[in-house]
Structure 1
């Protein structure tokens, strides 16, 4: 039944037809842990909405749509946390895992490496498929080919066992992972075809389709996760598609973890590609806006209600990792290279057994939310601290759904302050300082630990809480420029509305790089099936290739962008230079191995050019916008009265100098002393560190 509704393919049939001269209207909706954000792009203008997320995510989507009123949408792009939450909370579907005989325990054994190397008591994350649902299949392939054939009798035996478990335990999904299926997929394909015929209502994930890469544990883990999550995501997308059809809205394209969107049918078939779709939208949107403002090298800083995501953008391109670890489990799917910490506006502050103060990892979420929301929360959060310190207005509204109350924030802060014998002020400052420390460490991971100087980058701050902390983080890292987009509070939704169709392909190579000199073994030869598939899936796609390379004997690879015509010597030199930057050493005498050839294929969708909103164009001659009021807030180690500016009344070229507060429709910017901001042509507030200002 789900498949009937999810019929959209990866082409422009997902959009309504427009005359060439008409403007496209694009919709982006991001379902986060606390808020559901909406952006409509029309005639270069942005309309936004923000509502509280709901237990059934589609209800929040429809509530956001109802909030903006009737509008004719041409393209709808969507990202959500449905798959992420199902994995973290272990609320996926009962799944059977079928694997090569002798490898039943591989999901439980996992790898030897662990976060705390010397803590032998630390438990490993539980696999999504328990051992009693891991079944062995008599077959075996090796690097040289088939060792033990998969017989028809064995296929029928497996089907009978699975049928018994389906009837007894309500199994809804099957994952299949055989040894060396990335080289010899025939066994998985034959068993998969038989399973799909025998169980048409079950979801089937094959590792040769989900993650055709070597390293059996990571491949099997990804396939099991894909099978475990896909029924839940498909069910949500089915309900969403039905609601869109009733409202006359095109079926949504789904944001992938790697950036770019795919069809709703593709996402429903393989939930693993959309595991981190929400954060990916923000990075994609940030890279786009950064380019418009003339900044290609950025550290992206997205602070939401539950967590903070940081990412590296170089030359306008978000960095993509071939894999991620989510909930302690590896997922071998291309992902925007994010580093996440549990420091969001809703992160709870609590006392440790030894009497110290800790912020996160637990979050108040959207229900009950921070104490100041007045929805039943009693524990203090980062948002409560920011409100009490004056950065947020007492009595102000968030998304027209929540009114902030400073008195409730103070009550919550006292639950920590009184046992510690501290003042509310000291605890509020301490909570903010601890949250900032966690976020600074995250930004160091994607910059300093990769051989990059943060001072060479601009900090792109977004999310509902990001601009409140941006100046403090930039100062700690020695950064001199901050970008705060006009739609920073809903930037993930904006990034989704701007995204193009994307597919990622890969092929295992596993041979010395210099062997690609040989006729019949060139990069072009290896790329042929990938290119053919890309042209079947997309219309006139732009193709970008990369190689996963390593020194012989290394355990991990580096991704190196390449052209198919590049000489092997040039590729090798580029690898040595990248290795030097990342790890601080290189060894040109060591042979280099090619592990994987990757292809990123992108089909451009109609763009909607962004221009500054109408209120910004009223009077270009006004460079200094008068503040709309003042507020007591914590700056420079003391409370002082600072000007508060309405961002929508600041025209292009308008200046603001810290200390000050700038209120945006979905976020608040705290501008510390020593920072001076100017609104550019696309409405982005660009802050510059001004030492002269800091000394005044």
Structure 2
């Protein structure tokens, strides 16, 4: 029986098949089909099954990382979206937050972007709850009916509902859904009490509306690909878990970072096996590069993320994305300086060297012109027109008054610094010293600039896993089913009602248990992980810390508060552990993650093989100057062998240009460990 992982990227669709009996792994890639991602998905399944010599009936399960929801948000394709909120709060989206990019001093000409729903598409309903969920005014069914009929008359079929304080009591939102079912049965409805049961009205409203916006397209896509599979389909979520297709269509917002999340988890899985618990991950694709941090074997999580201009307050792996992929375009600014990205040539037409009608020089063209990648991709499946890349570079170099080699290395230098700045954003801005962490570089373009990043950032080493171009797809086979639940309960620590908090956690665990039951996990395999959001009284934002299992007693309370002080000091450099009277701790949110474990692949150690690595040939490559450098095939390398730069190490889905002064060692798990 085979388990398959499929990650759909902007340029390529990566696929991995795992034989559950033997542990054998088959990997491959196919070009993505942006116009219809389901076509690329089906092609990837067919290709990997052919390579494995298996029929579709041999597939036991498929895990999928998708960009459907992400791309819809990034491209702002959010038409026909309506919003229903509490009477008197119709301008909650217009008011938003008092935040301006880069601060007021640098934003004199900043214009507030359009709201996710224009004010003319907002309707209000009477009724009011207080922050504890007590009803102050009853739900007004007449105004609810009027709102539902107005949306039906306008042909608006995607609707988000967010009533004031519905995180404390969902009754009014549930009543609104019943009215919509009766009066506007074609509507696709998202309720904030089901999407994000957490306070802060603006973020909760936008998150609910994003869920409603992507639900129709995501539902159609999931149904299309599920129809082509005889096996169960799971979809990767932003929180580092997977969920069945039947469940994920009810919460599509949870998939907004599903592809990058799979890559971070795959990198964490590989480095845990080799004894490296904390690393920086860099997933380089054709369109963008995604960067994350793994601490003690687990990727860091956040609820303060955003997709494009939309704040999305759901649990997600903390990822920074920069437009610095292989297809990133080099262009001249009005001032005459060269810039790289964020615009990408994508998969179609692609870089100049693809020969598909591309007209602009890209990062891939620079690598090809300098000889740092082979004159083909995917083991020869995609031949590259290196001459076209060099012609394009010569024309760009003439505009800049530089040599083609200087222009190409300049493109790569700018791209490397773009990636380095993303790494600094995920580390230095979060209180981490970037020099303490090895870099795990993967994705088709991830290893290409690894040596330069070690220089720029002072990193100790770079780890290039086996089949780095398919690590995100492999990561999909390593993750468990996971659902997150949250409930706001604000209380100062000195006044905390442990019995009420115990009741809240029990309710969240009951929700998690019901979801895992639907996924087919018996009760004895359920795992519940608690956490809590705390802050000092008067602060605007919280810090999340782990909360232990077991009874909620004084020991539980002291353990969580101590963890909060420690986390606050690590993040901000100070805490008020010894001054509880002037700076009391406040509990804000209780959280529970329900986890259903899935059997992961095993990464076995291999014995070293004596002898030196032998190159398969040589190629003229430009590092500091043109020279003939040895070219090695990754498949021919064995544990314990070391390669000294300058060299090039090639494999099916990626290439490692090993600069002068660097070494690459094959470790016991087959990873390449690059050091200065």
TM-score where L is the length of structure 2:
0.93
Residue in structure 2 matched with residue 563 of structure 1 by the alignment: 548
2:506 to 528, 532, 540: 528
1:105 to 91, 106, 110: 91
Residue in structure 1 matched with residue 600 of structure 2 by the alignment: 607
2:400 to 420, 443, 456: 420
Deviation at 1:214, TM superposition (A): 0.8
Residue in structure 1 matched with residue 15 of structure 2 by the alignment: 38
Distance across 2 between alignment mates of 1:611 and 1:567: 39
Give unmatched runs, 5+ long, in structure 2. none
The alignment partner of 1:567 has SS state of: helix
Residue in structure 2 matched with residue 682 of structure 1 by the alignment: 669
Distance across 2 between alignment mates of 1:607 and 1:299: 22
Residue in structure 2 matched with residue 211 of structure 1 by the alignment: 196
Distance across 1 between alignment mates of 2:567 and 2:388: 52
Distance across 2 between alignment mates of 1:432 and 1:276: 27
Instruction: Give the conservation status (yes or no) of the 8 Å contact 1:92–1:232.
Output: no
Please show how residues 240-639 of structure 1 align to structure 2 within 5 Å.
Answer: 240-244=225-229, 248=230, 250-394=231-375, 396-398=376-378, 401-516=381-496, 518-522=497-501, 524-538=502-516, 539=521, 540-565=525-550, 566-588=555-577, 589=579, 590-611=583-604, 620-635=608-623, 637-639=624-626
Greater Cα offset, 561-570 or 157-166 = 561-570
Q: Deviations over 1:6-43 (max 9, x none)?
A: xxxxxxxxxxxxxxxxxx52100011111111011112
Distance across 2 between alignment mates of 1:449 and 1:332: 20
Distance across 2 between alignment mates of 1:383 and 1:330: 32
Instruction: Give the conservation status (yes or no) of the 8 Å contact 1:487–1:666.
Output: yes
Greater Cα offset, 128-137 or 430-439 = 128-137
CA distance 1:351–1:137, change in 2 (3 Å): same
CA distance 1:38–1:268, change in 2 (3 Å): same
Q: Deviations over 1:460-495 (max 9, x none)?
A: 100101111112112222212211111210111111
Distance across 1 between alignment mates of 2:250 and 2:79: 14
Give unmatched runs, 5+ long, in structure 1. 1-23, 690-696
Deviation at 1:274, TM superposition (A): 0.2
Residue in structure 1 matched with residue 139 of structure 2 by the alignment: 150
Does 1:230 find its partner at 2:215?
yes
Greater RCO, CA 8 A, separation 6+: 1
Greater Cα offset, 326-335 or 475-484 = 475-484
CA distance 1:49–1:200, change in 2 (3 Å): farther
Deviation at 1:623, TM superposition (A): 4.0
Distance across 2 between alignment mates of 1:415 and 1:217: 50
Instruction: Give the conservation status (yes or no) of the 8 Å contact 2:484–2:594.
Output: yes
CA distance 1:370–1:585, change in 2 (3 Å): same
Instruction: Give the conservation status (yes or no) of the 8 Å contact 2:608–2:668.
Output: no
Deviation at 1:564, TM superposition (A): 4.1
Deviation at 1:672, TM superposition (A): 2.4
Distance across 2 between alignment mates of 1:592 and 1:479: 37
Deviation at 1:688, TM superposition (A): 3.1
Deviation at 1:502, TM superposition (A): 0.7
Q: Deviations over 1:648-668 (max 9, x none)?
A: 111222222222211121000
CA distance 1:654–1:197, change in 2 (3 Å): farther
Q: Deviations over 1:425-445 (max 9, x none)?
A: 111111111111111111112
Does 1:26 find its partner at 2:6?
no
Residue in structure 1 matched with residue 76 of structure 2 by the alignment: 90
Q: Deviations over 1:490-533 (max 9, x none)?
A: 111111122211111111111113333x45234x3331001111
The alignment partner of 2:228 has SS state of: helix
Residue in structure 1 matched with residue 633 of structure 2 by the alignment: 646
Instruction: Give the conservation status (yes or no) of the 8 Å contact 1:255–1:261.
Output: yes
Instruction: Give the conservation status (yes or no) of the 8 Å contact 2:5–2:17.
Output: yes
Does 1:184 find its partner at 2:184?
no
Q: Compute the RMSD of aligned alpha carbons.
A: 1.8
Does 1:48 find its partner at 2:27?
yes
CA distance 1:519–1:575, change in 2 (3 Å): closer
Instruction: Give the conservation status (yes or no) of the 8 Å contact 1:611–1:683.
Output: no
Instruction: Give the conservation status (yes or no) of the 8 Å contact 1:93–1:231.
Output: no
Q: Deviations over 1:163-218 (max 9, x none)?
A: 2122xxxx221110111111121100111122134433321100010011111110
| Number of aligned residue pairs | 649
Deviation at 1:620, TM superposition (A): 4.9
Greater Cα offset, 500-509 or 655-664 = 655-664
Distance across 2 between alignment mates of 1:378 and 1:188: 52
Residue in structure 1 matched with residue 114 of structure 2 by the alignment: 126
Deviation at 1:383, TM superposition (A): 0.9
Does 1:117 find its partner at 2:98?
no
Instruction: Give the conservation status (yes or no) of the 8 Å contact 1:278–1:492.
Output: yes
Q: Deviations over 1:102-141 (max 9, x none)?
A: 2222223321212232313223333332222111112222
CA distance 1:586–1:602, change in 2 (3 Å): same
Distance across 2 between alignment mates of 1:664 and 1:216: 50
Distance across 1 between alignment mates of 2:675 and 2:63: 34
Instruction: Give the conservation status (yes or no) of the 8 Å contact 2:529–2:549.
Output: no
Residue in structure 2 matched with residue 672 of structure 1 by the alignment: 659
The alignment partner of 1:497 has SS state of: coil
The alignment partner of 1:580 has SS state of: helix
Residue in structure 2 matched with residue 161 of structure 1 by the alignment: 150
CA distance 1:519–1:505, change in 2 (3 Å): closer
The alignment partner of 1:359 has SS state of: strand
1:655 to 638, 642, 654: 642
CA distance 1:163–1:629, change in 2 (3 Å): same
Distance across 2 between alignment mates of 1:335 and 1:442: 17
Deviation at 1:625, TM superposition (A): 1.8
Deviation at 1:587, TM superposition (A): 2.5
CA distance 1:112–1:519, change in 2 (3 Å): closer
Distance across 2 between alignment mates of 1:193 and 1:622: 71
Greater Cα offset, 258-267 or 149-158 = 149-158
Instruction: Give the conservation status (yes or no) of the 8 Å contact 1:632–1:640.
Output: yes
Greater Cα offset, 552-561 or 88-97 = 88-97
Greater Cα offset, 592-601 or 204-213 = 592-601
The alignment partner of 2:476 has SS state of: helix
Distance across 2 between alignment mates of 1:386 and 1:165: 52
Q: Deviations over 1:61-117 (max 9, x none)?
A: 111122221342111000111111111112245121111122222223321212232
